[in-house]
């Protein structure tokens, strides 16, 4: 793994987190407990800070970045960031699933208990209300979570990733 200081700021990663051998974490990045960062993920806190809560999984190929002098990236607890997603200069509250290949752009807010569908593009300054599912390019609200088959998925995926990471720890 590449863990590197930038401008005197170093990543803070608790012992109980799993970081894959070829993940990259640089600069002002802090993690809560029970997180996992998977193969080829890049978390780059060089131009602003990135704060990640507890039980967050950042899956293979995902990119977390922020915006210079404007927008840090803040991720709450129990969040899954899918394979190849891009999360940039935004705020993601608790219990959120960002689908595979989704893009969340600057100054967006993803409120709790929400899902951003695979491949969705959440354009700059969008606020996704709590308990909703957004999909498409550009993304729009498609339904409320309690009316979908996905209500239990956010917690299930987050718990599974804690389990998967235990398989990789020496």
What architecture (CATH level 2) is domain 2-168?
Answer: 3 Solenoid (2.160)
| 93 vs 74: CA distance, rounded Å | 8
Provide the residue ranges of all domains of the chain, joining segments of one domain with +: 2-168
Please write the tens of the pLDDT for every residue from 39-70.
Answer: 999 999 999 999 999 999 999 999 999 999 99
Rounded to an integer, the average pLDDT of 96-102 is 98
Quick one: tokens of 77? 């607890």
Rounded to an integer, the average pLDDT of 155-161 is 94
DSSP state of 51: E
| 88 vs 83: CA distance, rounded Å | 15
Q: Are strands 2-4 and 91-92 parallel, antiparallel or unpaired?
A: unpaired
Rounded to an integer, the average pLDDT of 148-167 is 88
């Amino acid at each position: 793994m590449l863990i590197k200081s930038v401008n005197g700021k170093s990543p803070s990663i608790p012992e109980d987190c799993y970081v894959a051998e070829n993940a990259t974490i640089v600069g002002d990045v802090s993690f809560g407990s029970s997180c996992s960062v998977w193969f080829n993920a890049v978390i780059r806190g060089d131009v602003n800070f990135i704060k990640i809560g507890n039980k967050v999984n950042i899956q293979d190929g995902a990119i977390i970045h922020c915006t210079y002098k404007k927008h840090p990236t803040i991720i709450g607890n129990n969040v899954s960031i899918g394979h190849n997603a891009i999360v940039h200069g935004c705020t993601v509250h608790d219990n959120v699933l960002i689908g595979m290949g989704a893009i969340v752009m600057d100054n967006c807010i993803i409120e709790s208990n929400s899902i951003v569908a695979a491949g969705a593009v959440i354009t700059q300054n969008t606020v996704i209300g709590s308990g909703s599912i957004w999909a498409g390019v550009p993304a729009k609200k498609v339904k409320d979570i309690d009316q979908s088959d996905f209500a239990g998925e956010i917690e299930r995926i987050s718990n599974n990733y804690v389990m998967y990471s235990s398989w990789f720890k020496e």
